Amino acid sequence: MITITTTEALAEFCQKARNHPFLTVDTEFLRERTYYSKLCLVQLAVPGDAPEDAVLVDPLADGLSLEPLYELFRDTSVVKVFHAARQDLEIFFIEGGVIPQPLFDTQVAAMVCGFGDQAGYETLVRKIAKQPLDKTSRFTDWSRRPLSEAQMAYALADVTHLRVIYSYLKKQIEKSARTRWVEEELEILTNPDTYVVNPEEAWERVKTRTNSGKFLAIVRELARFREQYARDRNVPRTRVYKDDALLELASTKPATIQDLGRSRLLLREARKGEIADGILAAVKAGIECPPKDHPKVSASNDKLQVNPALADMLRVLLKAKSENAGVAQKLIASASDLDAIAAGVRDAQALTGWRREVFGEDALRLCEGKIGLVARGNSVDVFAL
């Protein structure tokens, strides 16, 4: 097993990779103690069976720069293949300001090819590569050196089997003329905005059942402060305060340090110093926010007038269409999508792009009473009314 620890060796491998049609990529990282993921290892492989065709890159090695890899990521003549790429791409975008192009995500492709919802890498290795996968090193500390033989073998397996999986899925997608489907799904992953966190929008990730404008204004200010504090100091959001504590603060509206001391859920470190000052300032700003500037929550499906019988029929239609197309149901439409459509919403994702072709058109026809569903043995067919 080859481990690259110098920029020169990395540049040499990346130059070699330019002679191949694709490169498989994976990473190992830690995020438990930081806001940003700490990149600990990069695994790379090109087509071939020689030992030098699959390598480990140690980003923690003294003096090593990943710039040769970033340059390769910008080379559009080589397809970059990942599995469940979201977190890997975030790391490369934050650290190198680059998003690999062109991109192929085998998890997305597998869902399009009928391997179920969010097909796991281990499943694809077993079903496509016909190989077992040892996951015993999955939860090890990848920042510790030296890496064990077991860790290195585990890490390399994440890109060597990926070569076989990619080749198989690529052929299946081309055979079924679904390349455009995959490209549509990858648009979010390749959009830089996906990896930019705006503190102003951090409140939208906090789950609350309250729609009170004043309450949400305080939640927004508390979430904004937490995001900025965590990002600036590279610590996890939960190290500042957790969501349950945030909601408690929005409810109790502390005005003094003494008030913070009565919190049941706030961490001890957050009851003094900069965090305490930030909390009090955020609560004050939320309380003083004029009603016209209160955050607005989008209408949830709970507020929609859902026709339950129609929603159930849409679920039956989705199952039939999913099985007929060989595509994971959740990739086509979520349960909330179906409820929204049954309530009259017409801008649901399930009614756009390739989803409209597979499911959306008939879903609308069903809502309009133009088609019906009939059971034939173990299958469900559509008929015109």
201-222: pLDDT as tens digits = 999 999 998 889 999 999 999 9
Average pLDDT value for residue range 246-265: 96
Topology match between the domains 2-195 and 199-293: no
Q: What is the CATH number of domain 308-384?
A: 1.10.150
CA atoms within 13 A on the CB side of 250: 29
SS3 percent helix, strand, coil of the chain, rounded to 5, is: 55, 10, 35
Is the pLDDT at 29 greater than 80? The verdict is yes
Q: Pick one of 3.90.1150.10, 3.40.50.2300, 3.30.1050.10, 3.30.420.10 as the CATH number of 2-195.
A: 3.30.420.10
Query: What residues pair up with 383 in beta bridges, in sequence order?
Result: 372
Of the candidates 380, 354, 319, 364, which has an alpha carbon nearest to the alpha carbon of residue 112?
354
Of the candidates 304, 310, 306, which has an alpha carbon nearest to the alpha carbon of residue 371?
310
Q: How far is CA 362 from CA 221, 231, 235, in A?
A: 44, 46, 48
Query: What residues pair up with 376 in beta bridges, in sequence order?
Result: 379
Give residue 283's pLDDT band: very low, low, confident or very high (50, 70, 90). Answer: very high
The pLDDT mean for the chain works out to: 94
Stated pTM of the model: 0.89
What percent of the chain clears pLDDT 90, i.e. is strictly above it? 90
Q: What is the CATH number of domain 199-293?
A: 1.10.150.80
Q: What is the pLDDT of residue 116?
A: 82
Q: In whole angstroms, what separates CA 209 from the centre of its chain?
A: 24
Is the pLDDT at 297 greater than 80? The verdict is no
Give residue 137's pLDDT band: very low, low, confident or very high (50, 70, 90). Answer: confident
Distance CA 222, CA 280 (A): 9
Q: What is the pLDDT of residue 211?
A: 85
Please identify which residue in the block is written with the tokens 């060989």: 326
Residues 6+ apart with CB under 8 A from 297: 211, 216
Delimit the domains of the chain by residue range. Answer: 2-195, 199-293, 308-384
Distance CA 276, CA 260 (A): 8
Query: What residues pair up with 372 in beta bridges, in sequence order?
Result: 383
Average pLDDT value for residue range 163-182: 96
Distance CA 379, CA 385 (A): 19
- Helix (H, G, I), strand (E, B), or coil: what is residue 45? strand
Distance CA 109, CA 176 (A): 12
Give residue 303's pLDDT band: very low, low, confident or very high (50, 70, 90). Answer: low
Is the pLDDT at 302 greater than 60? The verdict is no
Peptide bond preceding 59: is omega within 30 degrees of 0, i.e. cis? no
Is the pLDDT at 350 greater than 80? The verdict is yes
Please identify which residue in the block is written with the tokens 């595509």: 327
Q: How far is CA 351 from CA 8, 164, 184, 291, 347, in A?
A: 50, 34, 14, 35, 7
Average pLDDT value for residue range 297-325: 85
Q: What is the pLDDT of residue 134?
A: 82
Average pLDDT value for residue range 11-16: 98
Q: What is the pLDDT of residue 296?
A: 84
Q: What is the pLDDT of residue 298?
A: 64
pLDDT in tens, 97-114: 999 999 999 999 999 998
Strand order of the β-sheet with 103-105 is: 2-4, 54-57, 38-45, 22-30, 79-82, 103-105
What percent of the chain clears pLDDT 70, i.e. is strictly above it? 98
Distance CA 239, CA 265 (A): 13
